[in-house]
Structure formats: structure tokens, C-alpha cells
Chains A and B, each alone.
Chain A
Amino acid sequence: MANRYSLWSLIKNGLKHHESWQPAWKSPQPKKHYDVIIVGGGGHGLATAYYLAKEHGIKNVAVLEKGYLGGGNTARNTTIIRSNYLWDEAAQLYEHGLKLWEGLSQDLNFNVMFSQRGVMNVGHTLQDMRDIERRANANLLNGVDAVVMTPKEIKDMVPLIDISNRTRYPIMGASFQPRGGVARHDAVAWGFARGASELGVDIIEQCEVTGLIIEGGRIKGVNTSRGDIMADRVGCVAAGNSSVLAKMAGLRLPLESHPLQAFVSESMKPCIDTVVMSNAVHGYVSQSDKGELVIGAGIDSYLGYGQRGSPHVIEHTAAAIIEMFPSFSRVRMNRQWGGIVDVSPDACPIISKTRIKGLYFNCGWGTGGFKATPGSGNVFAHTIAHDDPHPLNRAFSLDRFATGHLIDEHGAAAVAH
């Protein structure tokens, strides 16, 4: 690898005043033809390209990104990683991702700062607690780690949380996934881009796909803001913009794009060393390595491509956090932003072939796809390389919306991030 990162390379470059580091990935001009084009340079698209080259030997690949790498949801999300989903198909898909996370920094030779600090989903009602028990049991049966905690155990782990019954919805317990955690979001995009580029993938930024070239029911290439580029296969991984791409192929998807907002506080001394999520009062919080509280909650109700939402949603989220952590009421918030999430009817992704030969979609990850980034790219690469789904994503095809085989994770899988 041109630029292998190690303690040695750090010392060597340090001695040269850090002036001779090479760019992490190349920025070539687009070629006329590729074996595979990936539309969308978010984490999922870059991971797809990386695994196509690494595991399937398909290296004549381009990733086309309309903006810059990580400008979409990849670097707008709150980085929660877990695999404690209720249904077998979902648990296995997300667990595949979690296992890849566990070796990712080594595999990519890029520190994605994956931190298994655990993810806690608190319950506030008897029904919450029944659901938590059921989900934890289902998780254990699927080989996913899960623990059910009492309020006292929660307080021991998270001293700032209010477990008294003075609140409107007192905390009655929680599920905890010790192997869950967080990672540094933009490092994930950069790490996969660097890894893919090293294997020969062309990463092309500032290149918007404006049309899909289809002849005789087969994909032939794409129209872009930098000219037409031909390809045998095209994989669309455009998150909130998936319906727009589908329309270019005359397809309709079972998706709605919504704004999802998040915000961070000023930096503080370490005060919470796990991730706390609540579905019932609806808010979640973790603390970044910089010391900021990272806070988020639910989507704005309306369709929106604007990467911004309404203030009352932020107010609601802040209220939920303060209900659980009264001392956070004095903390000042620093930044707030929104991303566009592609929500599917069953809160599960679509990783699928389409009726157009050689055209594939990977979308519908909605509010919770960051955790799946390596797993999603891995099974999507398999789907494209073999023109046939990987066993782990067979159930996540588009035709489940005609056959009725939905995988209903709405509400089932704790809070949806």
C-alpha cells in the first residue's frame, strides 16, 4: 500500500514535519467504460466498491458521487452501532455488519475509531419491558449478545440518569448490548475510499448521475454531469435520493424520504461512556471523543429532501433527554443539522435486483443504516458480482412488497437508529 499507516510511518512523517503524506485516495478522470458503476459515494457505496474489488476480484469499478465523500448521511448520522434487531433476518444481517466492524480498522489499515462501549435501550412502561425481554431472548437465540438490566444496574453504569419515580415516565429497566457502540463516521467513508482506491477503484467526486441508459431491458450506463459513462452493471446506493434514481429507470420504490435531525453540545469532560436510547420518551445520547453530547431522535413527519427539519422536533428531543438526564439542562448546544433518510414500510432495507437487468438497488436503510455500512456493502457486492443475492440479503428483496413477506422491525427493534 502506497501509504501504509503505522507507528513507523507516523514517526517518519513526523520527522518530515508531516509535509509528505500522500492523498488517501486518487481522484482520476472517469473512464469511458466500467464493469460496475456504484452511484453514491456514501459509506455503503464505498464499502460496496471495496468488497467488489477485494472479495470478488472486480476492480474495473467507479464510485460516482454528486458532492463530496461523506457529504450525505454517512457523516450526518449519530454513529450508533448495534445488531439487537428482533427478527431473524434482520438480526443476522446487522450481526454480519457488527462482526465486520470488529475487524474493520485492521482490515482497512485505517482507524475508524470503533468503540464497543455498549448500547442501552431503556424501557419506561410494562409493555416496553415485555418487548425488551422478548427482544433480548430473540437476540440470544440468534447469537447476538443481550442483557436485561434493572434500574439499579442502569444507575451504576450511567450515574447521571434519573431512575426516580418523579419523572413522568420512570425508567423501569433496559436492554444492553455490550458489543454495540459508536465509530467515527467520516473515517468510515475515508477508510473504505482509501481501501477501494488502493485496489484500483476510481472514486469520482462532483459527478452527479442525471439519467440511466437502458436498452432492451438492460442497463448500459449512466448520464452524468461529467458526460456519459458506460457500464455492464450499476448499483444505486443513494440513501435519501434513491427514489429519484429509481424514477430515472421508470421504477417506483416503497420509500419515503424524510429529514432526520441531530445536534451536539459544547465539549465537556467525560460524563457518559455508553449509548443511552429511549424509544418511549424518544431521544438518545452518547458522548463523542471530543466530549460533545451527541443527541438525536425521530424523523420529521413530512417528506423532505431539504437536509433540514422543523425546530419543534429538536425541542421534543431535548425535552426527552432532559427528562432522563436533568443535569444536561444546563448544557449549551453547539450545532444542529439534518440528513435525508429513506424510510421503508417495514423499517428494513432493500438490497435487491430490479426488473432491469444489471441494475441493483441498496436503499431503505432509513434512520439506521450507519451500523450496517460494512455488512451492507459486503452483501451488496456479492449481489452485484453474482447477479444473485447473498443468503443474508435474500429476504430483503424488492418483491417482498408484492408477496407480503415484510420483516417488520418498526417498533420491534428498540429505537430506530
Chain B
Amino acid sequence: MLIITCPYCQQAREEEEFSYAGEAYIARPTVPEEADDATWGDYVFHRKNPRGWHWEQWQHVAGCRKVFAVKRHTVSYEIAGSWTLADGKALYLEEQA
């Protein structure tokens, strides 16, 4: 059972209150009209699916219902932290740089 902290409610709650909402910060093609099928296919279907740290989205469905970002390890399931989508994105981009 994962124990997840909602950055809005500021509370650590059991996983059952939340629902998993997939990889975070998938960038949409910036010029949609010019993106070809392969680019759209990549955006819609392909995933990082890493064995290691993963930035992902969770929704607090049985609480405030907001979606936020969590950084979690996909082998140990350790959670490094959770952030609002905007705060998390700044950290995520820093890591990617």
C-alpha cells in the first residue's frame, strides 16, 4: 500500500483514496498541424516506462479531487515527494536539463 501525500490537503493518506493518472509532463506537439502520424503516435501511446524514478500524476479522488505530481521509484516504490503540477514541473525540467 502506497502512502501518498496530497499537496493540496497537506495530508499523507492511503493509496485507496487516490487514483493513478499516468506519466506526468508528456509534452504535446507544439505545432499540432505540422506533427506527422509518428509524432502523434509517440505522444498518444509511447511512454518512458522507466525502471527507476518516475514522475507521475495522481488524483485525490476521495478527497479534494485535484490532480498533482508525485516522484516515485518504480522498483522500491519509494516516494521522493509530491507537488502541485506547476511546482513539480519546475523541478522536473531542472532534472531533465
Contact A310 B1 (CB under 8 A): yes
Select which of B23, B42, B51, B54 is within 8 A of A241 by beta carbon: B51
Contact B77 A252 (CB under 8 A): no
- What is the CA–CA distance of A255 and B74 in the complex, to the nearest angstrom? 14
Contact A311 B37 (CB under 8 A): no
Q: Which residues of B are interface residues toward A (Cβ below 8 A)? A: 1-2, 15-16, 19-20, 22-23, 37-38, 40-42, 44-51, 54, 56, 72, 74-77
Q: How many A-B residue pairs have CB under 8 A?
A: 71
A-B contact pairs, 22 of them (CB 8 A): A241-B51, A243-B48, A243-B49, A243-B51, A244-B51, A253-B47, A254-B45, A255-B47, A257-B49, A257-B74, A301-B19, A301-B20, A302-B2, A304-B75, A305-B51, A310-B2, A345-B44, A345-B45, A401-B44, A402-B38, A402-B42, A403-B41
Minimal beta-carbon separation of A23 from chain B (angstroms): 32
A270 at the B interface (CB under 8 A): no
Residues of A within 8 A of B50 (CB): 243-244, 247
Contact B45 A303 (CB under 8 A): no
State whether A252 and B46 are in contact (beta carbons under 8 Å apart), knowing that A301-B19, A303-B74, A401-B41 are contacts in the complex.
yes
Residue among A241, A254, A302, A401 with the most chain B CB within 10 A? A302
- What is the CA–CA distance of A304 and B77 in the complex, to the nearest angstrom? 7
Contact B47 A252 (CB under 8 A): yes
Residues of A within 8 A of B48 (CB): 243, 252
Q: Which residues of A are interface residues toward B (Cβ below 8 A)? A: 241, 243-244, 247, 252-257, 301-306, 310-312, 345, 401-404
- What is the CA–CA distance of A243 and B72 in the complex, to the nearest angstrom? 18
Contact A243 B45 (CB under 8 A): no
Residues of A within 8 A of B49 (CB): 243, 253, 255-257, 303
Residues of A within 8 A of B54 (CB): 303
- What is the CA–CA distance of A312 and B54 in the complex, to the nearest angstrom? 22
- What is the CA–CA distance of A396 and B56 in the complex, to the nearest angstrom? 28
Residues of B within 8 A of A256 (CB): 22, 47, 49
The 7 closest A-B pairs by CB, nearest first: A402-B41, A243-B49, A254-B45, A301-B20, A252-B46, A401-B45, A401-B41
